[in-house]
Structure 1
Amino acid sequence: MVADAVYQQYTWIVVLAALFSFFTSFGIGANDVANAFATSVGSKALTIRNAMCIAAVMEFAGALLLGASVSDTIRSSIADVKCFVDMPAVLMWGMCSVCLCTGVWLFIATYLELPVSTTHSVIGSLIGMSLVAVGSDCVVWNAPSSEFPFVKGVASIVLSWVFSPVLSGIFAAGVYLFVRTFVLRSANSTERAFIFFPILIAFTVAMCCFYIIAKGTKKVNALWGFDAEGDDLWLLCVFSIGAGIVAAALSLLLRPTIRKAIDATPEDGDEEPVKAEQLATDMPDDMAEKKGALAWLTKLLDTDTDAVVAESAKVSEMHASAEKFPKKTEVVFRYMQIMTACFDSFAHGANDVANAVGPFAACWYVYSNNGKFSKKNDVGTDMYWILAIGGLGIVVGLGLYGYKIMFAIGLKLAKVTPSRGFAIELGSMFIILLGSRFGIPLSTTHCQVGATIGVSLTEGRIASTNWSIVGRAALGWIFTMIVAGLLTACIFSMGYAGIQYDDSQQLGKGWQGN
């Protein structure tokens, strides 16, 4: 749909919102995608280059299939859009301001190595914009709902800040304790890992298929007359279980490859921690020669993860004192972790790409519909190219500036091995997908950090977790909404009066200034 002459004068807002939305998604890639891949890189299950390739595919897939649901929650369930019915241009400018200020805060937080929540950033910005534009009455602080979690608005999201890390930690710890008890600590741990390999893959694939079909393809389901949440729920369960069984059968084809990798693995033994004096020899020779822009652009790809651990005596000791298991058994879990990393990235795309493009989607809807909008703003097929903008920005942000947060979570927070990483990623992925299923925009930062802490605490030692990193993350979480809200309020107020005056003059209603 093309905007009429009245709204064509606001094309500049739409263009800026698109650019700022890409900027925000860049910040998400630099800050939040680290949560999806930090454990995989930290355990060396994936190289950084492979992680980037997986991100390029799975982030896009998650955004396109599941992102629309969370995007709707972000753009319409925090600020009451009915308060903007007489001020559509003001709403457009507000969403543009949200896109800009969210990206600015994410960039600052990444520079300071603070793993913050992009969900909190967007919500804080929306609240700051709404308070300036229409007051506190138009912020959806608490709205009852007949569906789980039985409350909507800011209240449901605040509750998720507590429950998402706790539930992720509990679920991940449960998975790891099961694996450690029945596989890792057994006398024939490698053979047991082979037995559980297809079972764990079947469970993960079945779980993801259930949520993808139930939530991500609502329009296709409606077209086919398929009620995934009603009478056809049993059929969905059967299909998901069948997909898990097929995946388990196909996983048997990997046995020769895994056997070959195991045979090539050195005999079991404790890994010696990297000493600080080894840093010079561990770093690639050509890295020291790179200067200027080239060094910055390739820093993520060239950084030695062992060298990062050796930079801190505390981190080195934490890694050295962690319980170790047979290396050959960990090889089996490396393949499991790669699979969970793919699905974890998918879940991240469903949740966080929506954070980046939700405000822009609202801006585009108002513009393309000539100021007409409602609480359920369906942008139709336009949502796919809008989500694609976010997916592209995330991949670019990860490649250019993702190393800071990736190393903080994947290497410095706790000791991560493939078996631990599998449990961490499975736990965080399950809670994130659960939130997406119910339209609750959870923080992947909370889920990933909570899952990592939960697994590390199974060591039975407080020192198994780097609490200074946890403290930094907590401070970032506390200040995120405050800083994002204040910043957005300042930027939004600069153009608010003029645009509001245009609305009242051209639409014949709204603000009647002196």
Structure 2
Amino acid sequence: MTSEDKSSWKTLDRDLNRISTLETATLYVSRPMIGFGLGLTFMVLAGFAAAFVFGLGSGSAVVVAAAVFGAYMALNIGANDVANNMGPAVGANALTMGGAIVIAALCESAGALLAGGDVVSTISKGIIDPAGFDSSMMFIWAMMAALVSSALWVNLATWIGAPVSTTHSVVGGVMGAGIAAAGLATVNWTSMGQIAASWVISPVLGGAIAALFLWFIKTFIIYREDKIAAARRWVPVLIGIMAGVFAVYLAVKGLKKLISIDLGPALLIGLAVGVATYLLSSPYIRKKSQGLENRNKSLKVLFGLPLVISAALLSFAHGANDVANAVGPLAAIVHTQEFGEIAGKVHIPIWVMVIGALGISFGLVTFGPKLIRMVGSQITKLNPMRAYCVALSAAITVIVASWLGLPVSSTHIAVGGVFGVGFYREWDHSRRARKLNLDRPEAKRLAPEERRRRKLVRRSHFMTIVAAWVITVPAAAGLSAVVFYVLNGIFGS
């Protein structure tokens, strides 16, 4: 081969590399557009489904529009809310991103369709009085405004990387539209006060319980001289606690459609399931721990499977509970348009629940990875033990809140658990460093900026998320009022 031939081949290789780089860049840039296109296609299909089921008679246009916006809301739930259940497992490397998306999509859909409540409060936890509306059409525009505003707010929160409560977004949307339509007197301010209190109670309680379990694991397993022997003794106990707690959680919150179980019988069920799981998991942990080295890294293997199962159960329970809240305004619009009356509670048509379930799956697949990475790895570093504490605290907090009658947010609980684990690690690290006299000579030499950088919880994410939580209800309410005035001004009589 002549030098001229070699030169031409090198030129061709450089050109092919440029083409390959351009194709890769094009694919990267077009990826968000693919998600946008899939989401838009799903919304259009939801509108066609509503037209097919409801018919093309008088008032069908309102139902079709509501179905489109309901699909938009479901997409945003999948993109934002589901990250709270799967983020810790992905951040701990117990699940890949693809595996988490598949499990969450299946479990969320199953929870919504199999165990989701078939009756939903159209006024979102009784925060406004339906009697305050002058006409059924005014109520429809209020519910439409609530649907649009809550979806837009969750979409904005996802874009800035803040996990927020979709239920609180719907509450804010309903409140804002209710005030715009019927005045301040229509709002049940006692219920709103309880919801506002849950902004503090949910994350603090979730964080405290997660920190407590992490303290237990560190004290009785990680800091022991023989870690593997300690794990054989205590990991089956922790797995039994997890199984019992989730049995109570699903009995109380996740299976209301199939069977109604009070808290007392649910606790007995949880005790039986917990003991049985302990007896079954003991030989499994013994076998799994054989040959493991006596170090912290080996312990992660023992928590992997329980963490995956807990994430799946949290997704099932989330689908059973929160999807109904999200499609509540859509169900209210369908009922009012069909029967011409305003009802405090309505049955959710199966096609409405299908839109909610499928929308969550589509939203999770197309837009969910951003928030999953945020919750799982960008707030604080998680491993299987820490992520397990977060999942367990979420279930326990919901049970305690149900017993106390407090309205809580699964989003606030899960993210609060992540914060609790991170802040406990900061405190424990500082305490152990002082005890061993390791930080005294170095602390004086470290600049304040460097000491802040070494914090185990990223303060920028903490402040962004807390700020988003605080303004969720007022922001959704203000946006909803604006949307209501626009809709009522254009279509109102």
Gaps of 5+ in 1: 143-152, 223-227, 269-324, 502-514
Question: Residue 129 of structure 1: which of 177, 181, 196 is its match?
Answer: 177
What is the Cα deviation at residue 332 of structure 1?
0.5
Contact 1:168 1:451 in 2 (8 A): yes
What is the Cα deviation at residue 241 of structure 1?
2.0
Q: 1:55 maps to which residue?
A: 104
Question: Residue 369 of structure 2: which of 403, 408, 420 is its match?
Answer: 403
What is the Cα deviation at residue 17 of structure 1?
1.5
> Residues of 1 paired with 2:120 and 2:462: CA distance?
28
Letter in 2 for 1:467: R
Contact 2:398 2:410 in 1 (8 A): yes
Pair 1:392–1:190, CA change in 2 (3 A): farther
> Residues of 1 paired with 2:328 and 2:401: CA distance?
16
Moved more, 483-492 or 212-221: 212-221
Pair 1:479–1:236, CA change in 2 (3 A): closer
| CA deviations over 1:453-501 (Å, ceiling 9, x no partner) | 2111222158121111101112212332233222222222122146553
| CA deviations over 1:202-247 (Å, ceiling 9, x no partner) | 222222222333444456547xxxxx33xxx654433332222333
Q: 1:150 maps to which residue?
A: none
1:452-471 matches, within 5 Å, as: 452-459=418-425, 460=427, 461=430, 463-471=455-463
> Residues of 1 paired with 2:129 and 2:169: CA distance?
18
| CA deviations over 1:247-304 (Å, ceiling 9, x no partner) | 33443574487358x75xxx67xxxxxxxxxxxxxxxxxxxxxxxxxxxxxxxxxxxx
Q: 1:27 maps to which residue?
A: 76
Q: 2:233 maps to which residue?
A: 195
Q: 1:365 maps to which residue?
A: 335
What is the Cα deviation at residue 196 of structure 1?
2.5
1:183-332 matches, within 5 Å, as: 183-218=221-256, 220-221=258-259, 228-229=261-262, 235-252=265-282, 254-255=284-285, 258-259=288-289, 326-332=296-302
What is the Cα deviation at residue 340 of structure 1?
1.9
Q: Does 1:339 align with 2:377?
A: no
Give 3-state SS (helix, strand or coil) of 2:219's partner. Answer: helix
Letter in 1 for 2:201: F
Q: 1:416 maps to which residue?
A: 382
Pair 1:70–1:326, CA change in 2 (3 A): farther
> Residues of 1 paired with 2:306 and 2:274: CA distance?
14
Question: Residue 176 of structure 1: which of 209, 214, 233 is its match?
Answer: 214
Letter in 2 for 1:35: N
Pair 1:73–1:87, CA change in 2 (3 A): closer
Question: Residue 101 of structure 1: which of 130, 149, 164 is its match?
Answer: 149
| CA deviations over 1:55-91 (Å, ceiling 9, x no partner) | 123223443566539943863512211213x412221
Contact 1:66 1:212 in 2 (8 A): no
Contact 2:246 2:395 in 1 (8 A): no
Pair 1:116–1:221, CA change in 2 (3 A): closer
Contact 2:144 2:330 in 1 (8 A): yes
Q: Does 1:432 align with 2:398?
A: yes
What is the Cα deviation at residue 188 of structure 1?
2.1
Letter in 1 for 2:456: S
Q: What CA RMSD, in Å, does the superposition of the two structures yield over aligned residues? A: 3.0
Pair 1:439–1:51, CA change in 2 (3 A): farther
Pair 1:217–1:405, CA change in 2 (3 A): closer
Letter in 2 for 1:56: A
Letter in 2 for 1:79: I
| CA deviations over 1:404-462 (Å, ceiling 9, x no partner) | 22222211111111101100111123223544677755223321221112111222158
Give 3-state SS (helix, strand or coil) of 1:9's partner. Answer: coil
What is the Cα deviation at residue 135 of structure 1?
0.7
Letter in 2 for 1:455: V
Question: Residue 140 of structure 1: which of 184, 188, 195 is its match?
Answer: 188
Contact 1:34 1:405 in 2 (8 A): yes
Contact 1:351 1:432 in 2 (8 A): no
Give 3-state SS (helix, strand or coil) of 1:364's partner. Answer: helix
Letter in 2 for 1:25: A
Letter in 1 for 2:311: A
> Residues of 2 paired with 1:33 and 1:174: CA distance?
24
Contact 1:119 1:442 in 2 (8 A): no
Contact 1:69 1:436 in 2 (8 A): no
Moved more, 420-429 or 484-493: 484-493
Question: Residue 81 of structure 1: which of 116, 124, 130 is its match?
Answer: 130
Pair 1:47–1:490, CA change in 2 (3 A): same
Gaps of 5+ in 2: 1-53, 431-451
Letter in 1 for 2:79: A
> Residues of 1 paired with 2:483 and 2:288: CA distance?
55
> Residues of 1 paired with 2:396 and 2:172: CA distance?
25
Q: Does 1:41 align with 2:90?
A: yes
Pair 1:365–1:256, CA change in 2 (3 A): farther
> Residues of 2 paired with 1:168 and 1:239: CA distance?
23
| CA deviations over 1:353-412 (Å, ceiling 9, x no partner) | 2332121122222233x123433x141xx4554333222212211111122222222111
Identity %: 33
| CA deviations over 1:126-164 (Å, ceiling 9, x no partner) | 11111111111111111xxxxxxxxxx211111111100
Pair 1:136–1:56, CA change in 2 (3 A): same
Give 3-state SS (helix, strand or coil) of 1:432's partner. Answer: helix
Give 3-state SS (helix, strand or coil) of 1:68's partner. Answer: coil
> Residues of 1 paired with 2:165 and 2:225: CA distance?
42
Contact 1:125 1:481 in 2 (8 A): yes
Letter in 2 for 1:344: L
Pair 1:378–1:68, CA change in 2 (3 A): same
Q: 1:18 maps to which residue?
A: 67
Q: 1:356 maps to which residue?
A: 326
Q: 1:505 maps to which residue?
A: none
Letter in 2 for 1:346: F
Q: 1:487 maps to which residue?
A: 479
Pair 1:489–1:361, CA change in 2 (3 A): same
Query: Relative contact order, CA 8 A, sep 6+: which one is greater?
Result: 1
> Residues of 2 paired with 1:387 and 1:442: CA distance?
22
1:374-389 matches, within 5 Å, as: 374-375=343-344, 377-379=345-347, 382=348, 384-389=350-355
Contact 2:336 2:342 in 1 (8 A): yes
Give 3-state SS (helix, strand or coil) of 2:176's partner. Answer: helix
> Residues of 2 paired with 1:166 and 1:74: CA distance?
28
